Structure 1
Amino acid sequence: MSAVGAVQPRIMVVSFTGDSGLTDYSASLCNELRRHAQVELVTAQSFDREKYKPAYPVTQLFRRTRHFPVDFWRFVWHVVRTRPDVLLLQSWLKYPAFELPWVLFFRSLGITVALTVHDLLPHYPKPWSRSLLRRFYSSFDGLIVHSEAQLQGLREMGVNRAALVVPHGIYDIFNTLNLQRDQARALLPDLRNDAYVVLFFGHLDERKGLVEFVEAAELLRTRAPGVQMVIAGKSDGRPAVEAALQRARERGGLVVHEGRIAHEDVQKYFAACDLVALPYLEGTTSGVMKLAMAFKRPVVCTEIGDFVESLKHWPGLPIPHADLAAALCDGVIAAQASKDLAARTLAVSETFTWPSIAGQYAQFLHQRRGH
């Protein structure tokens, strides 16, 4: 696809959000995909050019959700006017039922339209979500998923479109300072220098097992006093999450940094920790797992989504969903006692690097053109 003298295809990558994990993914993908194609990223006005330093064109069209009806027409006009060879959406933009006929319209113009399926279903699905998304996914020329389990989920939904299985890439864009553990802990004075630090990071909600993490921390206070549990991220505001955070603050023994973590501060937490906890109850993939890989940190995780396949390439301990708080407690103690778990994080498998992922994207999209 990138042969000398060949005309490179024009690929428009679309992310509705400009300051989320989808943006991190899109920017990382575009940075390597530009070696195979002429790439343009269409995203939100909140996209931070200083943060991502894009070496490809970026069109900032989208604003907040309340502006979507207007901004979507601007997006349609931009696609019609520029006529890319490939339109690559990063998940549905906002409303799959509204967007579905436009996917078919773009295809009628001769544009190949593909979708990266980051989550098979919304985190809090409606009764009709499954049937709606079956029709939505089936409207594309091709789909990209992050695991064989995710592909199986698509097939069980009745979606039979051509699909590429390629893992979610690591988030090395956050590692700008290459901090050592001691340096990072000096920047986070709440963390004890002599502690075995376990990190729960990212958007704080029930489906990620935050409540069970707090319960496990309470168990570890007596079973493993050398462990320090840390929560860093912004709460989703749901009552169970707020109650768990309040309990964590009141009972002590657990560090809580609640609020949005700035891009430049993410590396402090991952460089400072010894283990990353992912006690998810539900999910398809996790950017936090790929942050752990980028900072060479082992994980303890439930066996959901692409975690099982990730553990084939990355050191970590799987834990069962049953009695999750106790299982997480046991997993942390086992990880702390392991002599080789951290040692096996010395290299990230090429499977998760963006050059490898972008190359597979380019080949798949080239194959889908004209279908």
Structure 2
Amino acid sequence: MKALLLVSDLEDYTISFASGVAQHMQVVLGVPRRRYGHLASYVDPAVDLHLLDWPRHRSLYNPWFLYQLTRLIRHEQPTIIHLLSNNTLWLNFAAPFWRPIPLLTTIHDVELHPGDVETRVLPTWATELMVRQSRHVVVHGEGLKRIALGQYSKSPDCVHVLSHPAIHRYAELARRQKMARRREDGTFRVLLFGRIFAYKGLEYLVRAEAMLKDALPNLRITVAGRGDDPGVFQPLMGDAGRYDIRNRFIEDAEVAQLFLDADIVVLPYTEASQSGVLNLAVAFGKPVIVTDVGELRSTVQSNGLGMVVPPRDVEELATAIRMLAESSALRTEFGTNAFAWATGPNSPEKVGAQAAAVYREVVRACA
């Protein structure tokens, strides 16, 4: 079998997923040169990587790109085509020309996150049309499967669950560059990382920090990533010196250093499907605190990765932070479990084996 994987973004996820699948079957990966060119060394050599001159959504060159892409597909003659995201408008117009090759699409977010302006760039009809053109789809959890079954009117046999694989490239970068954790005497550092939109729950982390000012005087909060202005919560911050705010794009080496330095990673989300940040944190063996939204509870609890609190519950969040700050044994236990999960059951190779099994099932169903 040969799988052709296509995606226009999601670099971290795609590198892990494609590299994992390539351990079990032939993989051709088509991605934009402008986004993946500098990351090629992180893609497993077993992947047949094609860096494409993939236009932006508004470009007039999209019809020509679709023609070239269709020629590539006919040349490669894949057994299956897997779109690793349904967020590329123009592929809707090319998909009918790829038949009868089975088409599979991954839906990362069955429902849009509140305040996520980047995902909302595409019209809803475009993301839904790609799903409807794909007889089979992939989601990242059983709860998401139940939602997808209702939203897209798919047969249960046509909605497949695959875990979001652990993201190892930043930990690998840290090893390549021989990076080390920066020791800060007595400091307990909490990291909130990623695109900072309303649903990420920064407000509740800020309120929890205020509750801990006397109990944890050594607490430091790092907030790193593009998105909404964290400054709107400044009136709630008791001591600005307890915060490290980096409201910008974070370069790869800086990402690695942030996770090396963190004692715990907090995901106080008010809504979520699953989380790439969680899968990045576990590769560093970091314990996490997550809220009970989307697939986060089932992932964290069943694998012993950290603690789960109700969304928007400031007191419970503060209690969890304090508990981990005061118990190095608990942090070690969760961190050990996290790294074991990232390198074992949720490693790219193991998820890739599951994906290869799904591909074989889809091909049989479409024969």
> What amino acid sits opposite 1:25 in the alignment?
Y
Q: Which residue in 2 is equivalent to 1:300?
A: 289
Q: Which residue of the other structure, out of 113, 137, 141, is the alignment partner of 2:103? A: 113
Note closer, same or farther for the CA distance 1:45–1:133 as it changes in structure 2 (3 Å cut).
closer
Note closer, same or farther for the CA distance 1:99–1:253 as it changes in structure 2 (3 Å cut).
same
> Match of 2:214, SS?
helix
Whether the 8 Å contact between 1:145 and 1:165 is mirrored in structure 2 is yes
Does residue 152 of the first structure (1) align with residue 146 of the second (2)?
yes
Q: Which residue in 1 is equivalent to 2:201?
A: 209
Whether the 8 Å contact between 1:45 and 1:63 is mirrored in structure 2 is no
CA distance in 2, matches of 1:225, 1:72: 59
> What amino acid sits opposite 1:169 in the alignment?
P
Note closer, same or farther for the CA distance 1:245–1:117 as it changes in structure 2 (3 Å cut).
farther
1:166-315, aligned counterparts within 5 Å? 166-176=162-172, 177-178=174-175, 183-185=180-182, 192-234=184-226, 236=227, 238=228, 241-244=230-233, 251-311=240-300, 312-315=302-305
Offset of 1:319 from its aligned partner? 0.7
CA distance in 1, matches of 2:5, 2:63: 15
Q: Which residue in 2 is equivalent to 1:164?
A: 160
Does residue 123 of the first structure (1) align with residue 109 of the second (2)?
no
- Normalized against structure 1, the TM-score is what? 0.83
Offset of 1:198 from its aligned partner? 0.8
Identity %: 20
Moved more, 46-55 or 150-159: 46-55
Structure 1 runs not aligned, ≥5 long: 1-8, 187-191
Does residue 361 of the first structure (1) align with residue 355 of the second (2)?
yes
Q: Which residue of the other structure, out of 4, 8, 14, is the alignment partner of 1:26? A: 14
> What amino acid sits opposite 1:170 in the alignment?
A
- Normalized against structure 2, the TM-score is what? 0.83
> What amino acid sits opposite 1:306 in the alignment?
E
Offset of 1:327 from its aligned partner? 2.7
> Match of 1:271, SS?
helix
Q: Which residue in 1 is equivalent to 2:62?
A: 71
Q: Deviations along 1:2-28, whole A, 9 cap, x unmatched? A: xxxxxxx332211112xxxx1111112
From the two aligned structures, give the one with the greater helix fraction: 2
Moved more, 212-221 or 46-55: 46-55
Between the two proteins, the alignment pairs up a number of residues equal to 342
Note closer, same or farther for the CA distance 1:65–1:320 as it changes in structure 2 (3 Å cut).
same
Q: Which residue of the other structure, out of 315, 318, 322, is the alignment partner of 1:329? A: 318
Note closer, same or farther for the CA distance 1:249–1:255 as it changes in structure 2 (3 Å cut).
farther
Note closer, same or farther for the CA distance 1:131–1:78 as it changes in structure 2 (3 Å cut).
closer
Structure 2 runs not aligned, ≥5 long: none
After the TM superposition, list the runs of 4 or more consecutive aligned residues in structure 1 that deviate by more than 6 angstroms: 128-132
